[in-house]
Structure 1
Amino acid sequence: MFRPVPVPVLPPSTALADLATAGEHHAWLAGTTGVFTSRPTAPLVLRWTGETWQVEPLPELPAPASLSGVSAAAPDDVWAVGNSDGRPLLLHYDGTTWDIVPTPRITWAKAVAATGDDVHVVGTGPDTLHYDGTAWRLRTALSSARESLQTITAAGPHDLWAGGGGLAGAGPATYEYPVLVHWDGHAWTEVTGPRTERGHVARLAATTPDDIWLGHVRDTDGLRVHRWDGEQWTSVPAPRDTGRLSVHGVAAGWTWGVRAGHRSFETRPAFHRWTGDRWTTVALPDDLARASASHVGLATTGTTTWAYLKTAAGVHVLRHTAP
Structure 2
Amino acid sequence: SPTAGTASGGPRCPRPGPEDEALLSGLAADGAGGLWAVGVAYGEQGEGRPLAEHRDGAAWRSVPAPHTAGRGEALDGVTALAPDDVWAVGASSPPDGTGTRPLVLHWDGAAWTREEVPDVAGQPHAVTGDGAGGVWAVGEREDATTPAFSLHRDAHGTWRLVPPADGAAGEGASFFDVTRVPGASPGGPALWAVGSTLPRLDPPWRPVVQGYGIRGPGA
Determine the structure 1 residue equivalent to 2:173.
Answer: 293
Determine the structure 1 residue equivalent to 2:101.
Answer: 222
1:207 deviation in Å?
0.6
1:12-33 CA-partner distances (Å, limit 9, x unpaired): xxxxxxxxxxxxxxxxxxxxxx
Determine the structure 1 residue equivalent to 2:117.
Answer: 238
8 Å contact kept, 2:168–2:174: no
For 1:178 and 1:285, how far apart are their aligned partners in 2? 31
Determine the structure 1 residue equivalent to 2:77.
Answer: 203
> For residue 281 of structure 1, what is the amino acid of its counterpart?
L
1:240 deviation in Å?
4.3
Aligned pair 1:258/2:137, yes or no?
no
Aligned pair 1:248/2:124, yes or no?
yes
Structure (1/2) with the larger strand percentage: 1
Aligned length: 187
> For residue 299 of structure 1, what is the amino acid of its counterpart?
T
1:184 deviation in Å?
0.6
8 Å contact kept, 2:138–2:175: no
Determine the structure 2 residue equivalent to 1:56.
Answer: none
> For residue 289 of structure 1, what is the amino acid of its counterpart?
A
8 Å contact kept, 1:211–1:230: yes
1:208 deviation in Å?
0.7
1:243-302 CA-partner distances (Å, limit 9, x unpaired): xx3123241311212347xxx741312112112332233344335424431354322257
For 2:50 and 2:119, how far apart are their aligned partners in 1? 25
Structure 1: tracts of 5 or more residues without a match: 1-91, 104-130
Mark the structure with the bigger radius of gyration. 1
For 1:218, what is the secondary structure of its paired residue? strand
Task: From the superposition, tell whether residues 310 and 183 of structure 1 become closer, same or farther in structure 2 (CA, over 3 Å).
Answer: same
8 Å contact kept, 1:152–1:162: yes
1:113-166 CA-partner distances (Å, limit 9, x unpaired): xxxxxxxxxxxxxxxxxx4xxx25421123416233221111125211112222
8 Å contact kept, 2:90–2:125: no
Calculate the aligned-residue CA RMSD, in Å: 3.0
Task: From the superposition, tell whether residues 296 and 151 of structure 1 become closer, same or farther in structure 2 (CA, over 3 Å).
Answer: closer
Determine the structure 2 residue equivalent to 1:193.
Answer: 65
